[in-house]
Structure 1
Amino acid sequence: MTELSEYFANLACILPTTGEIKTTLLEEGFSNEAYLIDWGESIHLVLRVPFIDSDIFYINRASEMAALKSAAALGLSPAVIWNDQKGAFACQFVVQPSLDWSVVHKDKDVSRIAKSLASSHQGLPITNHQYAVFEVIEHYLSGIHSYAKKDAVLLKEYEYLKSVFSQLAQPNQLFNSVLCHNDLNPKNVLMDNEQLWIIDWEYCGVGDPLFDLAVVAKSHNLDERQTMLLMAEYDVSLPLSESLAAMSEYKKAYAVREMAWLLLKHLVTPKDRISLKYYYEFKATPSLNPFYA
């Protein structure tokens, strides 16, 4: 658990000078810790503290913060109240819950997600950080090979990932690049019947908008009909067959990226046994791993 005193010192102009300030670890995730900070009668802030190496995981903190602040200005993300240069920030607390990995959406919620994604692609300014998922996977595989070179078991997993990656065909990009979220899974969408928020812009970067659509379709468990609805609500002018073909390859690339990320996370932080456990579970689950055999 992170020592919070230095962050509280930086938040001194925001926090009350009298009374008790409570902190609660909201979630100790794979790459960040999030804390609820409350005083008086209500929760006021969420403090996010990162603890992974940005370069190893292809994260650009300046791009992340620019995207988060711009998304907040558009009403798509909670407002940022404070941030530093290392990726820590405090933002407005919102009551909407994150979604479950097993979420089954109503059509109206698919439409809401599609329209929020379209708003972000149309409204967020381009940053200098490029994000092409095939290049990211290559970057992760290089890191895995470097860290696993003395571990025969994990080198075998590296060879497996390299093999499945070689089976992918990188789609031709059909549309202009936009600032993409690149990880819009159910845990990064907070929503109820009234409001939808997009959070965790850690992996944002300029790339193909169809990758964002593919991640939503795959990770939110959309069937074929709801995938078509997602595309129509995002942009009715999308060329259907070409877009579906590209998204099919991007869904596979998303799966390879997730497996590579989990394995790399374990290798970078060996005490983290959860990442390795989840890697093997992901690999052995046909609904997650399109290369399972």
Structure 2
Amino acid sequence: MDFLYKHVIKKLGGLNNKNYLLNYYGTHCVLRVPESSSNLSFKNEHIILNLLKKTSLCPEVIYHNSLSGILLTKYLSFSNLSFETFKSNSFLSSLTYSLNNLHSLSFEEVEVFNPFNQIRFNINYLKDISFEFHHNIDLYITHLDALEQKYIDKQNLALCHNDLNTSNILFKNNTVYFIDFEFSGVCDIFFDLATLSWFLDEHERTFLLKSYFKTDKDLSFKKAKLNDYLFVVKLWNASWSFKKSLTATSDYDYKMGGNLILDSLFSQLET
């Protein structure tokens, strides 16, 4: 793939990957190169990208390597999403339309993404290496376990993205596209919805739910589940940040970021 670097216009942002904007023989493309320290398997992502070829839910895939995770896609110009746009009703309507289409795809061959197990795995790994937590992490895990049991018989499973932060969402011509499917897999749809709701206020979260489900039925239950899954989403991000702090080379303080998330969750802990 070294020859592609000859076409680089500029380096783009990214937490898990190195991303480059290319002019590849007159076509603008994005090259994603995972960090060498990444332990992710890209076989599942390869299956999902093949499913997405039949849709317009992501930029056109030119090349993907299921072993290395190297990905080349067409570039959508002027499609970056601003925070102000993200909170608008017009965008949320387009977002829920695309998200419904993603969640409706067949997932028979797709691996399961269990955020509860992922969090416990991350925390146990950190404990094994004597990571210095600034909180009583066992209290958070106890609450996590209770939420898992609460919804174990009330799951809404589908093919989910599982990392829907604003940098993984593109918006152009009133159409929403998704990128970076490394963490995607079969999961409860409320994990995606909760991730999207992180920076929305109560009114915007209600609009998100109504727009996604197209009904007010069981709205109180959905609001409660969304709030509970937001705890799961935030704890997953905190555990990921703590692990990332062990290998990160950027100036961002991932450990501090994880601690700020745990601070924000403390009031939700069962006592």
Task: Indicate the TM-score class for this superposition, using the shorter chain for normalisation.
Answer: 0.7 to 0.9
What is the RMSD of the two structures over their aligned residues, measured on CA atoms?
Answer: 2.7
The 1-side partners of 2:62 and 2:186 are apart by 25
Paired position in structure 1 for 2:136: 160
User: Aligned-pair distance for 1:43?
Assistant: 4.8
The 2-side partners of 1:32 and 1:244 are apart by 34
User: Aligned-pair distance for 1:35?
Assistant: 1.0
Report the number of matched residues.
262
Paired position in structure 2 for 1:21: 7
SS at match of 2:11: strand
Structure 2 CA distance for partners of 1:144 and 1:101, relative to 1, 3 Å: farther
Is 1:31 the counterpart of 2:16? The answer is yes
**Correspondences of 1:231-242 after superposition (within 5 Å):** 231-237=209-215, 239-242=218-221
Q: Which amino acid aligns with 2:139?
A: S
Give CA deviations for 1:261-282 in whole Å, capped at 9, x if unaligned: 1110122x1x53645x133145
User: Aligned-pair distance for 1:23?
Assistant: 4.2
Contact in 2 for aligned 1:74/1:123 (Cα 8 Å): no
Structure 2 CA distance for partners of 1:116 and 1:48, relative to 1, 3 Å: same
Taking structure 2 as the reference length, what is the TM-score of the superposition? 0.85
Q: Which amino acid aligns with 1:272?
A: T
**Correspondences of 1:106-255 after superposition (within 5 Å):** 106-146=88-128, 148-149=129-130, 154-157=131-134, 160-168=136-144, 169-170=147-148, 171-173=150-152, 174-218=154-198, 221-237=199-215, 239-255=218-234
Aligned match for 1:67, one of 45, 48, 65: 48
Q: Which amino acid aligns with 2:15?
A: F
Give CA deviations for 1:30-51 in whole Å, capped at 9, x if unaligned: 21011111056x5521111111
Identity of paired residues, percent? 24
Task: Show structure 2 runs of 5+ residues with no match.
Answer: none
Taking structure 1 as the reference length, what is the TM-score of the superposition? 0.79
The 2-side partners of 1:199 and 1:39 are apart by 20
The 1-side partners of 2:22 and 2:238 are apart by 33
Contact in 2 for aligned 1:71/1:124 (Cα 8 Å): no
Contact in 2 for aligned 1:284/1:292 (Cα 8 Å): no
The 1-side partners of 2:50 and 2:136 are apart by 39
Q: Which amino acid aligns with 1:257?
A: W
User: Aligned-pair distance for 1:239?
Assistant: 2.5
Structure 2 CA distance for partners of 1:234 and 1:187, relative to 1, 3 Å: same
The 2-side partners of 1:77 and 1:30 are apart by 19
Task: Show structure 1 runs of 5+ residues with no match.
Answer: 10-19
The 1-side partners of 2:195 and 2:64 are apart by 28
Contact in 1 for aligned 2:22/2:31 (Cα 8 Å): yes
